Chains A and B, each alone.
Chain A
Amino acid sequence: MTTTGEITFKTEPFVLNFGPVHPSTHGVYRMRATLDGEVVLDIEPVFGYLHRGIEKLAEERTYTGFIPLTDRLDYISPMSNNLGYCLAVEKLAGIKVPERAEYIRVIMAELQRLANHCIAVGSFLSDCGAMFTPFMYMFREREKILDLFDMVCGGRLTYNYMRIGGVSQDIPDEFLPALQKFMGTMPGMIEEWENLLKQNEILLARTKGVGILPREMAINCGISGPVARGSGVKWDLRKADPYCIYDRFEFDIPTGEVGDCYDRYRVRVEEMKQSLRIIKQAMEKVPSGPVRAEVPHLIRPPAGEAYAHIEAPKGELGFYIVSDSSIAPYRCHVRPTSLINLTALREMVKGWKVADLIAIFGSIDITMGEVDR
């Protein structure tokens, strides 16, 4: 029933299926939304269209052979997935990574964060209707980052670069000068986007106050990453539980206050600036040396279990590995950032309109590869 003043119209809610094939559901994600006119009453998410059984496949691959499969988890930021998995196995086996590899890993992870946020912000803005213009501008920058990755490991989407004990091969000589050149232009680009978008009336009207995620709910649902930080939870694993060598770098953690779509968008843009800061510091101090620890080809970690988590661009990505000292993991469980971040979607969209549903969903920034595994 919709009521306007004294008049009551009898209306009926209907179910609209935002099917797996939809221009803006970021992959094969299906929602069955119950709508009353334009107002969303309830949504029911349906997953599983991209389920490939990666956790079961892990039990049949060797430890090193599983790294290409981690590439395909969150296919927008594969370097981070590789890093998380390698950290878990190194923790399990007690392998120490050489210094040069640590610095290279940090540079790659932060470049990956930049690339991921380019897509995240670009798709969020095009979901708000900005006709692909910011999307194209951000993809132009992402192309430069992908060229850098191409130089290092030969791939643009699935890198398979990190290995257990380091990285697979050393960075070529032209990498650091190219990175220097990229670092010269990128801050100017971010500045340009800020000027175009930060005070845009229509964007503010679409995103300010929309899809608020209260701080308590964010903590209760286990939400992490820019979504949680947008709601005011000052929790970043790079500071709270430093891995690799993040404790040697200086950077801030941007946090939002209200937890609406605008805050999440601002947090991502600020994180890009902080990533540039970290890369700059890391670039200056890369030592020489081996890039990989001496580990046997077929690693047999001692029996036990380990959990290692990293601050992936989308949130807390963790790998829980149980080993029985054979060549394959006994059990490998991936803590799926995107699936857990979706837990609060239902509460966030109730009462908003169809257009907001898409905008809120875009602001959470998920990848179905991680949700379904």
Chain B
Amino acid sequence: MAIVDSMNNTRLPMQVTPADWPGGYWWHWLFFTVILIVFVLVMVMGAIYIERRGLGRMQSRLGPNRVGPFGLLQPVADAIKVLLKENIVPNSADKVVHWLAPIIAFVPAMMIFAVVPFQNGALLADLNIGILYVIAISSVSTIGVFMAGWGSSNKYSLLGAMRNVAAVVSYEIPLVLAVIGVVLMAGSLSLNQIVLKQDIPFILLQPLGFLLFFAAGCAEINRSPFDLFEADQELVAGFHTEYSGMKFAMFYLVEYGEAIAMSAIITTLFLSGWRGPLLPPWLWFILKTLIIFFLMVWTRTTFPRARIDQLMALAWKFLFPLALINLFITAIQILVWPDALPWILIFINIAIMVILILLWSKFFKLGWGRIEV
């Protein structure tokens, strides 16, 4: 068949399997699938640990430090606890929807890692539409969240799920526009190519893009200061109020899995992925991902929460125009000065970012006030 022929044909520019991989296609697939699943689970546990210790230390208290040395086994203890809990399903819940929701929410979070490069050429599938795949897949977990909210037959869950859908749909646009700036600079949609082109990390060449992507990414994955979908103080637990036991663990995994996935994407797009001196590349990759994740934890500790209409106003009136302007300026820079010295470009871009953000925030009104009832 054509597919098998193309897999064995080593002259195609796009390779699913590298030519020198022992065992061919299926061993490559098995090896990377196992590595990815292990990687995601271990990184999620590491993320949970970093979050709880980091949050604790920043709030002038110790985080968990009883289970294992320095509390390192705390996520394991959490996992065991959650597995042993009783699975309660509300009587009037829609059984099938309630059961399917965590799975539909979790699978896309894992699938994003299929195109993230750990080393030069070391990824599960070197698609030449890498970043488009990432953006498409990451939106699917919203369906899972909405199913959870609807299937729980609980008004709190429904409120949380509605907020989530509205916000995710709105924040897709600044997210995508910020990514296109990077794609223009790199000249390819494939994540491996984007890393290979980053002699200077794109965070310096696209500072505004980085900030936009970070903000929009935080809103997509339900992290503070935009974590109002599961706002503890208002909606008890938002869309996963009625979940317990393993299904709750899946939602928990989704939250941290998506956080790690978003950090990994930011690392590949803006911080030049696995590139770096001295240490092995995959170690650089993990380190950079954890640094970005720590940045997310830091913003979570520091800021209060936005309100839903303020969130929407931020997406549409602040991030979206800035993303468009960023795109235009990047395009102009690439067309007019394709060979410009990078340092001038860096300087100009940072200056533009500062001016734009300051100017825009002056004209920007966050949300609207009281509605006459």
Chain B, residue nearest A15 (CB) = B155
Does residue A182 face the partner (Cβ distance < 8 Å to B)? no
In the assembled complex, the Cα of A218 lies from the Cα of B302 at a distance in Å of 34
Question: In the bound complex, do residue B236 and residue A23 qualify as a contact, i.e. CB atoms below 8 Å apart?
Answer: yes
A358-B236 Cα distance, complex, nearest whole Å = 12
Check if A7 is an interface residue, CB within 8 A of chain B: no
Alpha-carbon distance A16/B304, docked complex (angstroms) = 24
B320: CB under 8 A from chain A?
no
Instruction: Please provide the chain A residues from 316 to 360 with a CB less than 8 Å away from any CB of chain B in the complex.
Output: 350-358
Q: Interface residue count for A (Cβ, 8 Å)?
A: 40
Residue of A nearest to B227 (CB): A129
Q: A129-B233, A353-B307, A355-B228 are in contact. Are A205 and B371 (CB under 8 A)?
A: no
* Cβ contacts B302-345/A at 8 Å (1 or 0 each): 11111111100000000000000000000000000000000000
**Chain B residues whose CB sits within 8 angstroms of the CB of A133 once the complex forms:** 58-59, 301-302
Q: Is A274 positioned at the interface, with any CB of B under 8 Å from its CB?
A: no
Contact A205 B159 (CB under 8 A): no
**When the two chains form the complex, which single residue of A14, A137, A354 contacts B234, counting CB atoms closer than 8 Å?**
A354
Q: Within 8 Å CB of A354, what residues of B?
A: 159, 234-235
Is there an interface contact between B233 and A39, defined as CB atoms closer than 8 Å? no
Chain A contacts for B235, CB-based, 8 A? 354
Measured CA separation A312–B115 after assembly (Å): 62
Residue of B59, B159, B301, B370 with highest tally of chain A CB at under 10 A: B370
One of A63-71, A88-96, A120-128, A165-173 at the interface: A120-128
Tell me the residues in window 119-160 of chain B with beta carbons closer than 8 Å to chain A beta carbons: 155-156, 159
Please determine whether A202 and B159 come into contact, CB atoms closer than 8 angstroms.
no
Closest-by-CB residue of B relative to A14 is B155
The reply on B83 being an interface residue by CB < 8 A is no
Find out whether the CB atom of A131 lies under 8 angstroms from the CB atom of B310: no
B180 to chain A, nearest CB (A): 28
A128, B304: Cβ atoms closer than 8 Å: yes
The 8 A CB mask of A183-204 against B (1 = contact, 0 = none) is 0000000000000100011110
Cβ-based interface call for B52 (8 A): no
Q: Which of A128, A131, A351 contacts B371 (CB 8 A)?
A: A351
A41 within 8 A of partner (CB): yes
Alpha-carbon gap, A136 to B224, bound state (A)? 18
How many angstroms from the CA of A40 to the CA of B306 in the assembled complex? Answer: 18
Residues of A within 8 A of B307 (CB): 205-206, 353, 355-356
Contact A129 B225 (CB under 8 A): yes
Inter-subunit contact B301/A129 (CB<8 Å): no
State the majority secondary structure of interface residues on B.
Answer: loop
- State whether A358 touches B304 (Cβ < 8 A): no
When C-beta atoms are compared, the residue in chain B nearest to A40 turns out to be: B373
Q: Does A38 contact B (CB under 8 A)?
A: yes
Q: Which residues from chain A contact B367 at a C-beta distance below 8 Å?
A: 205
> Which residues of B have CB within 8 Å of A137?
59-60
The reply to whether the CB of B232 lies closer than 8 angstroms to some CB of chain A is: yes
B227 → chain A closest CB, angstroms: 8
Checking A14, A129, A350 against B373 with a beta-carbon cut-off of 8 angstroms, the contacting residue is A350
Residue A24 interfacial (CB < 8 Å): yes
Contact between A16 and B58, CB atoms less than 8 A apart:
no
Contacts of A210 in B (CB 8 A): 369
Q: Is the CB of A358 within 8 A of B366?
A: no
Give the docked Cα–Cα distance between A215 and B174 (Å): 43
| Given A23-B236, A39-B373: A140 in contact with B60 (beta carbons within 8 A) | yes
Which residues of B are found within 8 Å of A205, using beta-carbon distances? 306-307, 310, 366-367
Does B28 make an interface contact (CB < 8 A)? no
For A196, give the chain B residue with the smallest CB separation.
Answer: B302
Q: Is the CB of A352 within 8 A of B234?
A: no
Least Cβ–Cβ distance between B162 and chain A, in angstroms: 8
Contact present for A126 and B366 (CB under 8 Å): no
* B159 proximity list for chain A (CB < 8 A): 16, 38, 354
Cα A130 to Cα B59 in complex, Å, equals 11
A353 touches B58 (CB 8 A): no
B197 interfacial contact with A, CB 8 Å: no
CB-CB under 8 A from B156, the residues of chain A are 16
For A350, the closest partner residue in chain B by CB is B373
Selected from B231, B309, B366, B372, the residue in CB contact (under 8 A) with A129 is B231
Tell me the complex Cα distance, A126–B369, Å. 21
CB neighbors of B among A180-236 (8 A): 196, 200-203, 205-206, 209-210
In the complex, B61 has a CB within 8 A of chain A: yes
Tell me if A156 counts as interface (CB < 8 A to partner B): no
* Distance A127 CA – B231 CA, assembled complex (angstroms): 9
Interface residues of A in 95-123 (CB under 8 A from B): none
Q: Which residues of B contact A130 (CB under 8 A)?
A: 303-305
- Knowing A137-B59, A353-B308 touch, does A200 contact B369 (C-beta < 8 A)? no
In the complex, are the beta carbons of B61 and A131 less than 8 A apart?
A: no
Distance between Cα atoms of A128 and B234 in the complex (Å): 9
Q: How many Å from the CB of A4 to the closest CB on chain B? A: 12
Chain B residues contacting A128 (CB-CB under 8 Å) are 304-305
Q: For A202, what are the chain B residues with a Cβ–Cβ distance below 8 Å?
A: 225, 303-306
Residue of A nearest to B234 (CB): A358
Instruction: Give A17 Cβ to nearest chain B Cβ, in Å.
Output: 8
A87 to B112, CA, bound (A): 68
- Is A132 in contact with chain B by the CB < 8 A criterion? yes
Interchain CB contact (< 8 A) of B308 among A22, A24, A136, A355:
A355
Could you show 7 A-B contacts with beta carbons less than 8 Å apart? A16-B155, A22-B236, A38-B309, A39-B373, A129-B228, A351-B371, A354-B159
Contacts A128-B304, A129-B224, A137-B60 aside, 13 further interface pairs with beta carbons under 8 A come to A16-B156, A22-B236, A24-B233, A36-B373, A129-B233, A131-B304, A131-B305, A205-B306, A205-B310, A351-B370, A352-B370, A352-B371, A354-B159
Interface residues of A (CB under 8 A from B): 14, 16, 22-24, 36, 38-41, 125-133, 136-137, 140, 196, 200-203, 205-206, 209-210, 350-358
Closest 10 CB pairs between A and B? A129-B305, A136-B59, A24-B233, A130-B304, A351-B370, A205-B366, A128-B304, A355-B307, A129-B304, A351-B371
